[in-house]
Amino acid sequence: MAYPFQLPDLGFEHDALEPHIDAQTMAIHHGKHHAGYTSKLNAALESHNDLHEMSAIDLVSDMSAIPEEIRGAVRNNGGGYVNHTLFWDVMTPGGAEAPIGDLALAVDAAFGSLDEFRAHFQAAAGGQFGSGWGWLCSDAAGALSVQATPNQDSPLMQGLTPLLGVDVWEHAYYLRYQNRRPDYLSAFWSIVNWDRVSARYNDAREV
Ligand code: MN3
């Protein structure tokens, strides 16, 4: 998918993630915030025909290739576009409780156990100062790491493939959780789509 970018479907109803994420938050987050990143990314690219064949992932994976006059806009809005597209894909109502297949083995190898991974991930996402994201990432060899990024920066900008992400901007949780970001992060595990995260791991590796 390339320019003009379209707001992707959520794949579930706004209230599907209740009570962990409320319907009003989902409606605003998808219909206003993600839609805003989409339209602003398109506006930044409008007069740059040479970039119109590129996917959003390719655009944000090499920021040095983006013309300086739109680099900031592509970083913020292209990052926002790809981050939220991943976020909707890795959540589902009533999903599997644990990774499957190669990802299950890799999590144990990298972190010791799923519980230890969760603790690392929550510490990184919970400790991100201000707005940003927490991530589980893979490198091309399949090595896992936990990352946190500010604003709408993507791990793609560091050459890593994001497998699982959690949005810790206040717009992602404030209506239900107010300042209680740790409670939002604890609830997040109830809606992770481990089938999709595990499939993303298989796609991330150059084998
Ligand atoms: Mn957001």
- Out of 89, 122, 139, pick the residue that ends a domain: 89
Is residue 189 predicted with pLDDT exceeding 90? yes
User: What are the distances in angstroms from CA 205 to CA 61, 102, 143, 175, 202?
Assistant: 16, 11, 9, 38, 6
Q: How far is the CA of 105 from the centre of ligand 1 (A)?
A: 30
Q: Does one domain contain both 85 and 148?
A: no
Distances in whole angstroms, Cα of residue 12 to Cα of each of 9, 26, 93, 145: 8, 10, 8, 29
What's the pLDDT tens digit per position in 96-134?
889 999 999 999 999 999 999 999 999 999 999 999 999
Residue 42, domain extent: 23-89
Same-domain pairing of 200 and 128: yes
119 and 27, same structural domain?
Answer: no
Asked if residue 1 has pLDDT above 90, the reply is: no
Q: What is the mean pLDDT of residues 29-40?
A: 98
Q: Which of 146, 148, 166 is nearest to 88 (CA)?
A: 166
Give SS3 for 93: coil
- Please name which of 154, 162, 165 lies closest in space to residue 88, comparing C-alpha atoms: 165
> What is the rounded average pLDDT of the residues 183-189?
97
The pTM is what? 0.97
* Beta strands per DSSP E along the chain: 132-138, 144-150, 161-167
Residue 85 C-alpha to ligand 1 middle, in angstroms?
10
Q: One-letter amino acid identity for 148?
A: A
Q: Which residues surround ligand 1, an ion (CB under 5 A)?
A: 33, 167, 169
Which CATH number covers residue 154? 3.55.40.20
Confidence of residue 207 (pLDDT cuts 50, 70, 90): low
